[in-house]
């Protein structure tokens, strides 16, 4: 029997339609659960019922069909496999845009240069515990594209992971306006990064398609380069590695001033400062190269509980509505080294004693 801390593992391959149909068919119950969970969340945060959410999802369909036709076909396949309407699947994939930043997924991400030809890319992903049962580990094999290994929510085509070319992605939600529905939803942008041959290729693809629909941060790395992509529909900023070869990010923009970003998660600047302190402690301790291990990062950084509940290892805040209480749902550490390409994933709050086992990608 599957453990609560060990999600479904799904190997997908074939045409976009085939990939989508199997995704939808195998995760049918989880997708329907996601729709129910997000319906409650939209009602609470945005006063929208699911019918209204689907109407808003219609605004994104022309851009998906035009800019990313293969991914639209994949979404249609997911809908068919799950026995739901394609607008339900578009809504899940555009949930960050439709909510206009009202969802408070708080996350802490980190890239660290091991040497000139290897990076470690890692993050805690924090979100409402209600979606935890609907997370899945996926591999996606497509002709002419790198194989993808990622952790995602059921029904969503792109999220956090890496590919066989050693390109990896992490995500930090940002709350800022405007939102432009004729551009790429962030989860679609993540998938495009995961289909790329390099960080530069990912940036080129996003720019060539006109950029993203909402303000978000993607920490994108390959074996030789890492960039913090502070993306918005009205202009982007890229953050490079510091003198220690590190990029850290939480849930507020550091350099992008193109958007209207009111303060929202009070713990985000505190988490970022704490992340900087913890990484610099390790640098001073002489940690570098192969000593930057997943176990070390989990123990010394991603289990940190300073400033609870809004800590790096996040804990539910009982003062929030149950549908938007965040806690750390998983930690991922990717070794982006062409000679040793792999990741470790732990579901649950690392260091809490209640987390799951260390899972490998590829599995």
pLDDT of the residue at 2: 47
pLDDT of the residue at 245: 98
162 class by beta-carbon count within 10 Å (0-12 exposed, 13-18 middle, 19+ buried) = buried
pLDDT of the residue at 324: 73
Q: Which range (51-65, 109-123, 319-333, 348-362) has the least confidence?
A: 319-333
- Does pLDDT of 28 surpass 60? yes
**What Rg, from alpha-carbon coordinates, does the chain have?**
19
pLDDT of the residue at 321: 77
pLDDT of the residue at 93: 98
Pick 8-98's CATH classification: 1.10.10, 1.20.120, 1.10.287, 1.10.3470.
1.10.10
What does the domain layout of the chain look like in residue ranges?
Answer: 8-98, 107-361
Percent of the chain with pLDDT over 90: 89
pLDDT of the residue at 104: 60
DSSP secondary structure of 310-332: SSSS----TTS-GGG-EEEEEEE
pLDDT of the residue at 190: 98
- Does pLDDT of 263 surpass 80? no
Compute the average pLDDT of residues 25-52: 95
* Residue 245 CB partners (closer than 8 Å, separation 6+): 112, 113
> For residues 128 and 114, what is the distance between their CA atoms, to the nearest angstrom?
33
Compute the average pLDDT of residues 252-257: 96
> For residues 236 and 198, what is the distance between their CA atoms, to the nearest angstrom?
18
Tell me the fold of 107-361: Penicillin V Acylase; Chain A (3.60.60)
DSSP secondary structure of 26-54: HTHHHHHHHHHHHHHHHHHHH---HHHHH
pLDDT of the residue at 234: 97
- Does pLDDT of 208 surpass 80? yes
- According to DSSP, the β-strands at 8-13 and 107-115 are unpaired
> For residues 224 and 232, what is the distance between their CA atoms, to the nearest angstrom?
25
Q: Which range (112-116, 126-130, 189-193, 295-299) has the least confidence?
A: 126-130
Computed over every residue of the chain, the mean pLDDT equals 95
Question: Tell me: the pLDDT tens digits for 154-204?
Answer: 999 999 999 999 999 999 999 999 999 999 999 999 999 999 999 999 999
pLDDT of the residue at 1: 38
Nearest Cα residue to 221 out of 113, 325, 86: 113
Question: Tell me: the pLDDT tens digits for 63-107?
Answer: 999 999 999 999 999 999 999 999 999 999 999 999 865 666 669
pLDDT of the residue at 105: 63
- Does pLDDT of 336 surpass 90? yes
pLDDT of the residue at 5: 66
Compute the average pLDDT of residues 126-140: 96
- What is the band of 264 on the pLDDT scale with cuts at 50, 70, 90? confident
Percent of the chain with pLDDT over 70: 97
pLDDT of the residue at 153: 98
> For residues 250 and 168, what is the distance between their CA atoms, to the nearest angstrom?
17
């Amino acid at each position: 029997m599957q453990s609560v801390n060990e999600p479904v593992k799904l190997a997908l391959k074939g045409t976009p339609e085939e990939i989508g149909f199997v995704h939808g068919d195998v995760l049918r119950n989880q997708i329907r659960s996601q729709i129910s969970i997000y319906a409650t969340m939209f009602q609470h945060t945005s006063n929208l019922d699911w019918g209204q959410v689907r109407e808003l999802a219609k605004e994104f369909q022309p851009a998906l069909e035009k800019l990313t036709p293969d991914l639209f076909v994949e979404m249609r396949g997911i809908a068919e496999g799950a026995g739901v309407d394609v607008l339900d699947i578009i809504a899940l994939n555009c949930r960050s845009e439709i909510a206009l930043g009202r969802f408070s997924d708080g996350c802490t991400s980190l890239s660290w240069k091991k040497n000139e030809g290897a990076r470690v890319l890692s993050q805690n992903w924090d979100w409402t515990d209600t979606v935890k049962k609907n997370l899945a580990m996926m591999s996606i094999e497509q002709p002419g594209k790198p194989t993808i290994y990622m952790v995602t929510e059921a029904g969503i085509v792109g999220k956090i992971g890496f590919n066989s070319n050693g390109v990896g992605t992490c995500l930090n939600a940002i709350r800022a306006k405007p939102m432009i529905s004729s551009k790429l939803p962030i989860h679609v942008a993540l998938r495009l990064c995961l289909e790329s041959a390099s960080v530069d290729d990912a940036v080129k693809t996003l720019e060539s398609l006109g950029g993203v629909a909402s303000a978000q941060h993607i920490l994108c790395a390959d074996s030789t380069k890492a960039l913090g992509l502070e993306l918005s529909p009205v202009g982007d900023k890229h953050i490079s590695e510091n003198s220690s070869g590190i990029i850290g990010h939480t849930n507020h923009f550091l350099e992008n001033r193109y958007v209207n970003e009111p303060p929202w998660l009070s713990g985000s600047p505190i988490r970022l400062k704490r992340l900087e302190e913890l990484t610099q402690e390790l640098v001073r301790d002489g940690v570098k190269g192969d000593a930057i291990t997943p176990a070390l990062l989990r123990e010394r950084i991603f289990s940190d509980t300073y400033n609870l509940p809004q800590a790096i290892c996040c804990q539910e805040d009982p003062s929030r509505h149950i549908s938007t209480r965040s806690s750390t749902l998983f930690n991922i550490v990717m070794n982006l080294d062409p000679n040793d390409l792999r990741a470790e994933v732990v579901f649950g709050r690392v260091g809490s004693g209640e987390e799951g086992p260390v899972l490998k990608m590829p599995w």
